[in-house]
Amino acid sequence: MKFQLKETTLNILKPGDKGKIKSFNDIDLSAKLQELGCVPGEWISVEKIAPLGDPMMIKIENSFISLRKKEAEEIVISIKED
């Protein structure tokens, strides 16, 4: 079965959604996130969104990372489109 890949940014994902990191729109942010293991090609999943809507918590490999929606907006990911 073939599925289509759709490009979007991390901030619009809901808890439970998964995506593959494609690129970063902000160079400083990319350096910060990449040293944590969020390198292009890795799968990340959204775990939680804080009760007041911001920040969000993502999971990559074995670790959980929290970041603000504004920062998530700079992360381009590809998701499966159904």
Partner 1 sequence: MKEVSKKIALIGNPNCGKSTLFNILTGLQQQVGNYPGVTVDRKTGKFSSTAGKEIFITDLPGTYSLFPKSIDEQIALQVLLDKNDISHPDLVLIVADASNLKRSLYLATQVIELGFSAIFVLNMTDISESKGIEINTTALSEYLGCEVVKMNARKAEGIEELKNLIEKPLNNALKKFLNHEFVIGEKNEDKFSFSELVLNFEKKFNFYSNDKVSQNEYFKKAISEESILRYRLLTDAIPKFVSKIKIDTSDTTKKIDHVLLHPVWGSLVFLAVLLFVFQVVFSFSEYPMQLIESLFSKATSLFKDYFPDGILKDLFADGIIAGISGIVVFIPQIALLFAFISILEDTGYMARVGFLTDRIMKPFGLNGRSVIPLVSGVACAVPAIMGTRTIANYKERILTVFVTPLMSCSARLPVYTLLSSLMIPENKYIFIFNERALLLVMFYLIGFVAALLVALVLKFIVKSKEKSYFIMEMPSYKMPRWNNVFLTMFEKVKVFLFDAGKVIIAISIILWWLSSFGPPQQMMKIESEYETKMALQPQHQDSLMSIMNSKKLESSYAGIAGKFIEPVISPLGFDWKMGIALITSFAAREVFVGTMATIYSVSDMEDVRSIRQKMADEKNRDTGEKVYTTATCLSLMFFYAFALQCMSTVAVVYRETKSKIWPFLQFISFGALAWIISFAVYHLVK
Side-chain half-sphere CA neighbours of 41 within 13 A: 3
Instruction: Show the site string, 40-69: x = touches partner 1 by CB under 8 A, - = not.
Output: x------xx-xxxxxx-x---xxxxxxxx-
Q: Does 18 bind partner 1 (CB under 8 A)?
A: no
For residues 65 and 76, which CB has a smaller minimum distance to partner 1 in the complex?
65
Alpha helix segments (H runs only) across 12-72: 27-35, 69-72
Distances, alpha carbon 52 to alpha carbons 13, 24, 46, in Å: 16, 26, 16
Q: Does 30 bind partner 1 (CB under 8 A)?
A: yes
> How many Å apart are CA 50 and CA 68, to the nearest integer?
10
Shortest Cβ distance from residue 82 to partner 1 (Å)? 24
Q: Find the binder of partner 1 among 6, 37, 43, 80 (CB under 8 A).
A: 37
Q: Does 14 bind partner 1 (CB under 8 A)?
A: no
